[in-house]
Amino acid sequence: MATDIGDITHTVEAAALMRLLPARPRLLALGEPTHGEETLLDLRNEVFRQLVEQEGYRTIAIESDCLMGLAVNAYVTSGTGTLDEVMEHGFSHGWGAHAANRDLVRWMRDYNDGRPASDRLHFAGFDGPLEITAAASPRRALTALHDYLSAHVDAALLPCTAHTLDRLLGADDRWTNPAGMMDPAQSVGQSAEAGELRLIAGDLVALLDEHTPHLMAAASPDEWDRARLYGRTATGLLRYHHWMADTSPARMTRLVSARDQMMAHNLLALAERGPVLVHAHNSHLQRPKSTMQMWEGPVEWWSAGALVSARLREDYAFVATALGTIRHHGVGTPPPDTVEGLLYALPEDRYVIDAPRLAIALRDTAPPHRTSPWFGYAPLDPAHLADIDGLMFVKDIPQS
């Protein structure tokens, strides 16, 4: 079988990847099957640099807090702050501690040095302000949106005063209580105050939309885009908190769906401004439904990639990454009859693969889905090969 698929494998480089696509997509997503491995992040950096230089992409978005990412973007576009500061405060999920992410931010800043504003690279986090066991208070997003509108529209049109907003929000630790993820009764997401805040957030976003012509004339496009981000984040966070307080069997499905919907809305907004490179877990970028085993049982949902693909169609492309071993996490040599095992038998360490043609080559063999001894690694589902535009394979992941 290795001989049969050798003609659909290519050297890992941007040009080989782009040859798999009919045209340059507006949003090109590169997925990874696990988080936190420097080898995969270094590979992302290498490919993204080539795509920026050869294909004209000007935004790089990663699976990190969209509000925290504003500080990183200010640094790479204008030098605001220091590299140490933005690595500490501009990333969620501990991503700022990774050397490859630091290398990416440093390179983006160097690339922008001396370039006109119209040709600069932009950075974005596209995840919501969410962690594994908690969600942020909606305070920052709501108050920033309220402040922006207060400065540009008649105060009589605002749905509430800043004082009322502060009173309804209360203490931030009510919202960030990690016990709320495990126990819905500990969440404030369905309190009377939270319900009123959802209505206010909706009214603020509607006011922003209603006054678009005036607001775009009165402030810079960046300020208007940032206000829209605050609106998306406020409504998304309040929706997420609402489902944290839910007690129905659909609770976890609604939570993971709400998170990926926030991601999708952020990606679509970025794509409005120009071509975007995206990096996240495969499960957030794939077109078929995603699945995960949670403590409350299995959940199934449409990923951000599936939602964006449905809207952008051929302007969305997904390149998944598969791997052979992560021995320091107990992921050994893949069984030879799995997709990873077939690719592992090839002589080189890294490949770009024509995934649809690979699906055709394996059509009559029905390779099994590789199992993983480690929760942090999601092997490639062979049933999804035809839904992938390209596939990158890395044979071995050494311990960082």
How far apart, in Å, are the Cα atoms of 57 and each of 25, 143, 273?
10, 33, 11
Q: What is the mean pLDDT of residues 68-97?
A: 98
pLDDT per residue over 259-299, tens digit each? 999 999 999 999 999 999 999 999 999 999 999 887 777 89
Quote the crossing angle between the two packed helices 162-169 and 139-152, to the nearest 10°.
170
pLDDT at 4 (0 to 100): 65
Tokens (6 digits) for 28: 């090109």
pLDDT at 282 (0 to 100): 98
Tokens (6 digits) for 343: 């690719």
How far apart, in Å, are the Cα atoms of 220 and each of 123, 162, 392?
18, 23, 40
pLDDT at 50 (0 to 100): 98
Q: What is the mean pLDDT of residues 103-131?
A: 97
pLDDT per residue over 337-368, tens digit each? 999 999 999 999 999 999 999 999 998 888 99
pLDDT at 133 (0 to 100): 80
Query: 25, 314 in Cβ contact below 8 A?
Result: yes
pLDDT at 114 (0 to 100): 95
By the 10 Å C-beta count (0-12 exposed, 13-18 middle, 19+ buried), 282 is classed as: buried
Q: What is the mean pLDDT of residues 307-336?
A: 97
pLDDT per residue over 127-159, tens digit each? 999 987 889 999 999 999 999 999 999 999 999
By the 10 Å C-beta count (0-12 exposed, 13-18 middle, 19+ buried), 106 is classed as: middle
- For residue 3, what pLDDT band results from cuts at 50, 70 and 90? very low
Q: What is the mean pLDDT of residues 45-62?
A: 98
CA distance 262 to 266: 6
Contacts of 298 (CB under 8 A, 6+ apart): 291, 292
- Residue 2: pLDDT over 50: no
Query: 213, 239 in Cβ contact below 8 A?
Result: no
Query: 86, 78 in Cβ contact below 8 A?
Result: no
Identity of the amino acid at 58: R
Using only C-alpha atoms, what is the Rg of the chain?
A: 22
**Would you give the end-to-end CA distance of the chain in angstroms?**
32
Query: 381, 362 in Cβ contact below 8 A?
Result: no
Q: What is the mean pLDDT of residues 34-40?
A: 97
CA distance 269 to 229: 8
CA distance 323 to 338: 12
Quote the crossing angle between the two packed helices 304-312 and 251-273, to the nearest 10°.
40
pLDDT at 26 (0 to 100): 98
- Residue 1: pLDDT over 50: no
